[in-house]
Structures are given as C-alpha cells and as structure tokens.
Amino acid sequence: MSLEHTYVAIFEFFQAVAGVFSTRGKARATAAVVADLLWKPFDLRFRNVVDKINFHQGIVREELDFTVMTKIQDDIEALQDIQAELATRKAQQEIFSISFQAAEKIRQADKWSVDGGPEFDHVVIVSCRGIIEKKRNGVFKYIHLTARKFAQNGPDGQCQRPPLLPKELIAKATIAIRCVSYLASKVP
C-alpha cells in the first residue's frame, strides 16, 4: 500500500514539474518559467510532494524490514522445533543403545545355545517348565539364576555331560540330564 502511495506521489511530482514548464499542454516561454521559479523556488514549491515521497518510502522500508524479520523469526522457530526433535531422538537413541547393551549383556550371561542340535520335542520342554524357557530363535533362557548356576556346575560342583551320543541327540540329552538333576536337588 505504501509503495502505491510512493508511486502516486512521484507521479504528482512529475505533473507539478511539467506544470512549471507548460500550461494547458503548451510550452511556456523561458522568461515566464524563470520568473515563476524565482517567485516560488523549486524546493519550496515541491516540498510537500517530496515529504510525501520520503514518508511513504520510510513506510515501505519498515514494511520490508518487518516482512524480513517475520520470515527470520519463523525460520528460527522452525529451527528450534527441529533441534528439539533431534535432541529428543538423540536421547531416545541413547536410551535404546543403553537398553540394547544391557539386554545384550543379560542375554549373553543368561543364554544356553544349542547350535547344531535338533529341534527339541515338546515333552522335554514341558519337563523343564519352570527352569528354562525357549525363545523364538531357539535359544534357551534360564528363568532362575539358581537353575543356571546348577546347570553349569551340577550338584557336586562339576559340569554334567551326557554320555556319548550322536551329535543330533547331545543337546536333547544335555537338557534332559540337567532338568532331572535340578528337579532332584534341593535348589530353591
């Protein structure tokens, strides 16, 4: 809007200047123009028009500055939102990393892998209920720490090993021996 007023004032200025040099579309004589300018100098005659132009020019500058500042403020707010989201994601990633490391340590300390062994029958798993739990990936997890300790050391402190069996039956026999030994002992 102010830019429009600035152009209108500039147009008025040029109209007034043209009015000094001509009347009703006809050029004025040089002597008349000089006399007119001496009687009312150029700067006094157009001071009002120049003041309007300067006023509207200042308003246009303020509007442009305001627009730029608003854009900068919006960009800063968007940047702060992005930084807050990144900080949240970083904190979540750190929590997940710590949780994963803790879970990995627990899994390593609490697993008994039976790689290379056959799938275990449901009967063996049922007989060991309360001692171990079969996970989806085929890894057995001890539910009680005492069961794990007992299975590793046995009641007399030595690790129990199954008799010589074919490779596909060793894991099944090991679980059965340890389950029976655990159930037969007085481990709480």
The model's pTM is 0.34
Q: What is the per-residue pLDDT across 131-181, written as a single tens digit (0 to 9) for each? A: 555 556 655 555 554 444 555 555 554 545 544 555 555 666 666 666 666
Under a CB-based contact definition with an 8 Å cutoff, are residues 8 and 53 in contact? no
Residue with tokens 């894991």: 171
Over 50: is that where the pLDDT of 125 sits? no
Kindly give the residue spans of alpha helices, DSSP state H, lying in the chain.
2-21, 30-39, 42-45, 47-109, 122-127, 145-153, 167-184
Cα separations in angstroms, 9 against 2, 56, 68, 172 = 10, 9, 26, 99
* Sign of the dihedral through C-alpha 183, 184, 187, 188: positive
Please report the pLDDT score of residue 70 as a whole number: 94
pLDDT tens by residue, 75-117: 999 999 999 999 888 888 888 888 777 777 666 655 544 444 4
Residues whose CB is less than 8 angstroms from the CB of residue 99 and which lie 6 or more positions away in sequence, other chains included: none
49 neighbors 5 (Cβ within 8 angstroms): no
Report helix, strand or coil for 154. Answer: coil
